[in-house]
A and B are shown apart, each in its own frame.
Chain A
């Protein structure tokens, strides 16, 4: 087994990639080599149970909230015809562009004026995070529902199964991998969130990590807590995978391999026309979600931003825009490429452990950005030192830092942090292509490159686009790792927004915040247009 693994090029390349991407995670887990008993005792005696309890509640709440919103909305837009459906299909993705902490700031500003709802609570945090994170579920569930075939429904109908029973017994179980992937992403983001919970004063595992690090100066213990969080996520994800180990979900319909045949393929689901009442009720539901999750906060931000727009330095603002956009764009291409390589390794490799490797490498999503950044700085610092010594040997001078404090560190951090987002999309995309297609192509004497180019890529187009856009928006919003790893004199919109917000100048923070949202919208619209074409 071991020898065959080593001969398997897919396994070797996956191993190398994962080892590289796993370095910060290993650096964080390395902290467990030294355990301080008095500190742990203090933590257990005081706040640990509070941290765990709040974090679990938050993650479960956000998982449930984003799951219900995402699945119900996806079911509506894929199954029923209602007023504005084609518009909602893409508009409902828009909240994705709202960073959770900005949502929190905005609504707090609003509710403080109203005074009848205390938004700064665990319930408030769950609500705000669910509202900005449900698009993950919505996006994946929508693809899964629309990929399900009409035959299922017809068979179900002949068996006298009602619509709701069909949803529960057939549609949802088939969409399970996609839905759970979305829910898992939302939950991991909630677990790693710091901005929102710190602002609301909720003691979670993440705020605990920072209290330990900043307050007590105990980096080691903080890393141990972060490592514990990552291990917990790994176990939960492992259990979920294990529970569906014997299930496979493939598309069996005629595949639109080329344009000619795609024009003859029947659409998977003709939409159900509703009674006039529900025709508008469904629109009202979708609109309400959009209103709360996007229109109200963005309008509020625009109002605030308008007041500060005269005071900005246009040249500086343009630089911020270009910086944020280029970072997000380049990283999204890089990360999706890596994710695709790993997904292929998993598909083609004979070795089962590739799955575990990629799972491990994509853990970065559940680790708070700042802790991850330190996990990168430490090994990079060591590497820089070695490079400098070697350089000195050869050229008689030091070259300074090559990795830390450069774009290398920044891009690497994004890869580690957001690989999971891209992987979930590329993997679900690939999993839905039946392996017997691969076999057929290979039997016909074509190589794997040809298989990828001519068969897989056309089928994967949606998944790849979705992956790149999710990563793009995530990098655009990313704050903590960018803040600490960025090179000198390099600002992004998120950094700017944070600086104002941390100085409690929420109104000044509105303009950079709303710009993040606007830049985030552009790819979301691109995605939906691309999806309509196919």
Chain B
């Protein structure tokens, strides 16, 4: 028995050493390195990074995880942190990275179409994502809901589904509303929304869409790319997703809530040149097209054609707010949702 255990132990150790050495050798083969902490899932970033690596003869090292955990890691690693690039899926995290001193200005010359960026260029948006209202058209007549404020109407009591306020997309939405509407109005809105909840918030955005179709509720708030992904998935998901309709709210006033996915260069980056080249690449046609077609996010480059699914959802006006402020007001937004009883 002891021999077996020892043998197994030795073999596993050797396997892991071989594996580590193999990756170390691969690392040494290429002169340039680029180390990335990404809050975006590997599947949604790696294909692009691989393309970039091939074009620029650079070895890319990637760790994915939750944005705040990765920021905490970068922070505690301090000036010896190997990270060059930070990628997130929400503006709140980008501005938090900046305010914690984890970023440095991007030196790459950004294309003219770039408008969503930090004033000191500490981060830049790669794609935009919107959070419209999604309805069951059989239960809600066209034109019945045109604004986020309409969701508070008494006739919608017990008919609204939203995920938990622990989710960052809801926090950013409320923070953006705080900037535009002020604290009292936002709190009243959050309270009114909670009063109309069909159920205690649970599940993700897709679950809210499914709940609308299942008849649990008639109205949901969800990000567009979830619906778009469902419309391009298996037959069952497609059937569900096709039964909901997107309503672009507040088109006559402030516009639909907008969030971004973005990128930043880390404060203590060792490979700033290649890091800046990556940012240029991510804003380039190839990468923007990939996001628009494969992941159904809105490209920041207006020349890029959207996927047919996105086109079918229609065009819209987005809100115009200072994005860094959205990040700064994140905590305040959460406290408001706490007070409103939005679990």
Residues of A whose CB lies within 8 Å of any CB of B are 42, 46-47, 50, 108, 112, 115, 120, 198-203, 207, 210-211, 213-219, 307, 319, 322-323, 325-326, 329-330, 333, 370, 373-374, 377-378, 380-381, 384-385, 388, 398, 400-401, 404-405, 407, 480, 483-491, 495, 499-500, 502-504, 507, 530
9 inter-chain pairs at a CB distance below 8 angstroms, sorted by A residue, are: A47-B338, A108-B203, A115-B214, A120-B203, A202-B202, A405-B77, A483-B69, A499-B43, A504-B206
Residues of A within 8 A of B335 (CB): 42, 46, 216
Say yes or no: A373 contacts B166, CB within 8 Å.
no
Given contacts A201-B200, A378-B76, A388-B80, are A112 and B23 in contact (CB under 8 A)?
A: no
Say yes or no: A201 contacts B163, CB within 8 Å.
yes
Say yes or no: A484 contacts B70, CB within 8 Å.
yes
Say yes or no: A377 contacts B80, CB within 8 Å.
no
CA distance A378 to B72 in the complex (A): 9
Q: Which residue of chain B has its CB nearest to the CB of A491?
A: B42
**Interface size of B in residues (CB-CB distance below 8 Å):** 61
Say yes or no: B166 contacts A330, CB within 8 Å.
no
- Is B65 among interface residues, defined by CB-CB distance under 8 A? yes
Say yes or no: A374 contacts B41, CB within 8 Å.
no
CA distance A482 to B60 in the complex (A): 20
CA distance A287 to B337 in the complex (A): 45
- Is B261 among interface residues, defined by CB-CB distance under 8 A? no
Report the minimum CB–CB distance from A197 to chain B (whole Å).
10
Say yes or no: B68 contacts A211, CB within 8 Å.
no
Say yes or no: A488 contacts B73, CB within 8 Å.
no
Report the minimum CB–CB distance from A501 to chain B (whole Å).
9
- Helix, strand, loop or mixed for chain B's interface? helix
Given contacts A201-B343, A381-B77, A385-B78, are A214 and B68 in contact (CB under 8 A)?
A: yes
Residues of A within 8 A of B114 (CB): none
Given contacts A120-B203, A215-B166, A329-B12, are A381 and B65 in contact (CB under 8 A)?
A: no
Give the interface centre of A46, A219, A495 by most chain B CB atoms within 10 Å: A46
| Interface Cβ pair total, 8 Å cutoff | 158
Say yes or no: A215 contacts B171, CB within 8 Å.
yes
CA distance A504 to B82 in the complex (A): 30
Residues of B within 8 A of A199 (CB): 202-204
Given contacts A322-B15, A499-B41, are A489 and B66 in contact (CB under 8 A)?
A: no
Given contacts A319-B19, A378-B76, are A401 and B343 in contact (CB under 8 A)?
A: no
Q: Which residue of chain A has its CB nearest to the CB of B78?
A: A381
Residues of B within 8 A of A42 (CB): 335, 338
CA distance A200 to B200 in the complex (A): 9
Say yes or no: A216 contacts B80, CB within 8 Å.
no
B306-343 Cβ-contact flags toward A at 8 Å (1 or 0): 00000000000000000000000011001100110001
Say yes or no: A215 contacts B334, CB within 8 Å.
yes
CA distance A323 to B203 in the complex (A): 30
CA distance A215 to B62 in the complex (A): 25
Say yes or no: B80 contacts A398, CB within 8 Å.
yes
Residues of A within 8 A of B8 (CB): 329
Given contacts A115-B214, A388-B80, A401-B81, are A503 and B44 in contact (CB under 8 A)?
A: yes
Say yes or no: B42 contacts A507, CB within 8 Å.
no
- Which residues of chain B in 30-63 are interfacial with respect to chain A, using CB atoms and an 8 Å cutoff? 35, 41-44, 61-63
Q: Which of A213, A378, A490, A504 contacts B204 (CB 8 A)?
A: A504
Say yes or no: B77 contacts A401, CB within 8 Å.
yes
CA distance A203 to B62 in the complex (A): 32
Residues of B within 8 A of A404 (CB): 73, 76-77
